[in-house]
Amino acid sequence: MTSKDMNLTKAHARYLESRLIEVARMAGRARLDNSTAPPLPKLPEADVSDMEYFIEQARIVMPVLGVNIFRTPEAAVAVPNGEGTDGRRDSPIFTMSVKSEGIEARAREIDGEFTVLQGSGARSAWKGAESHAYRSLRVRLEQDGTIAPSVDGTNMVFTRDHVFASPSAAAAMIAGRAANGRKVWVDRSSGISYGEWETQGVD
């Protein structure tokens, strides 16, 4: 944590527990079983600084290990046909529609992850095969409040940005059935699909 040795006490552990639960809730990537978060114990200012440094290091290391529950999707401003600082082209905003239901959703690839944006619409209920793996994901997102009824009650809406493992998983949540996300997500400004955009510049 720091260059000096430090013995962790129960108060330090309670502080870390409380803050990590708070960070996980803000990230919105997992449903927490904890009904309440323990209150932050009072620590000397220097100890609080050390604990916060530990948390920041955990937020850096955990995604490297494949654990993303503390990683908050960061909104970014689209730069058409531009490149990010790492050389990767910035993602445009992709849209997907279910015209028969009057539904439209928006998504971007943010930091290498396919993210459906807050306010995107979704079908009111799952219409696909009951045994499909995506159905359980849809149920979970409804249970944790990520997808909730729209104001008029006709469909559902994303209450916050949500990261998906693939564009097809995201598309299935919007359509209420399995869908090929590489085709149905389209950048309207250029007319290209997500799959086409992803492979641009690849030999």
Reported as a single tens digit per residue, the pLDDT across 11-38 is 888 888 888 888 777 777 666 676 666 7
Are 29 and 121 found together in one domain?
Answer: no
- Does any domain span residue 4? no
- Does any domain span residue 3? no
pLDDT value at residue 79 = 37
Name the stretches of the chain with pLDDT < 70. Answer: 1-6, 29-32, 34-37, 64-66, 71-89, 201-203
For residue 38, the enclosing domain spans: 10-64
> Which residues touch 121 (CB under 8 Å, ≥6 apart)?
98, 101, 102, 103, 104, 105, 150, 155, 156, 157, 158, 174
- Does any domain span residue 75? no
Are 126 and 177 found together in one domain?
Answer: yes
Place of tokens 């409040």: 145
Number of domains composing the chain: 2
pLDDT value at residue 76 = 37
- Does any domain span residue 191? yes
pLDDT value at residue 103 = 94
Are 101 and 160 found together in one domain?
Answer: yes
Are 102 and 159 found together in one domain?
Answer: yes
- Does any domain span residue 84? no
